[in-house]
Amino acid sequence: MKILVVEDETKIGDYLRQGLSEAGFVTDLARTGLDGHHLAMTESYDLIILDVMLPDIDGWRILQSLHDAGKNVPVLFLTARDSVEDRVKGLELGADDYLVKPFAFAELLARVRTLLRRGATPVAETSLKVGDLSLDLVRRQARRGGRCIQLTAKEFSLLEFLMRHRGEVMPRSLIASQVWDMNFDSDTNVIDVAIRRLRAKIEEGFDSKLIHTVRGMGYMLDEPAQE
């Protein structure tokens, strides 16, 4: 599997190339938009990871150009936090998925694997739904029963993670590594506190609970069982 990374920030580019190589992918790194564009048009890749903000030609023009040339390689684009317009624009231009910077490498790898499994089918997941709780992944908004819920960036990531794994018990250690990109060997209190805050926001004032504590194991998000 061959991946092209187009990223002008040296540190991020090196980090991605190294991480992806270690994960077993053949990885080319382009540090400018023009280089990236040239490689994308002339070489054959299974996936392109495309930074949007590039100093010469931006990610959008590269994406547009690939699209015009009929290249249907899956594209994962990297965007800045809080740039809703970017996310909407990228998906409209035919990108398959996006990641908001800064991101955890584990998350990037998970998205890469999903895209490669899916091939070039351009269906980006734009929302998640469990019961009356919905998460708009593009606008980064949570709603329950029609009511808008304000979440911090970390709470949003936590909720997204639990919703992507609905019905599965998630151990605290896994939540720590996937959502915080850290290992909490001894102190998983951080997770418990974050879960408590999230519960207060998505459960208080509603009839049913969505986040369930599985004693001695972790947390699980699912619709309440019907009585």
Which residues are near Ca ion by CB under 5 A? 8, 51, 53
Cβ count near 216 (within 10 Å)? 6
* CB of residue 127 to Ca ion, shortest distance in Å: 27
* CB of residue 139 to Ca ion, shortest distance in Å: 22
| Residue number with CB closer to Ca ion (79 or 157) | 79
* CB of residue 161 to Ca ion, shortest distance in Å: 26
| Residue number with CB closer to Ca ion (26 or 80) | 80
Cβ count near 55 (within 10 Å)? 10
| Residue number with CB closer to Ca ion (8 or 132) | 8
Nearest residue to 13 (alpha-carbon basis) of 83, 101, 81: 101
* CB of residue 178 to Ca ion, shortest distance in Å: 25
Q: Report yes or no: 19 and 43 within 8 Å, Cβ to Cβ.
A: no
* Closest residue to Ca ion, based on beta-carbon distance: 53
Instruction: Work out the widest C-alpha separation in the chain, in whole angstroms.
Output: 60
| Residue number with CB closer to Ca ion (93 or 130) | 93
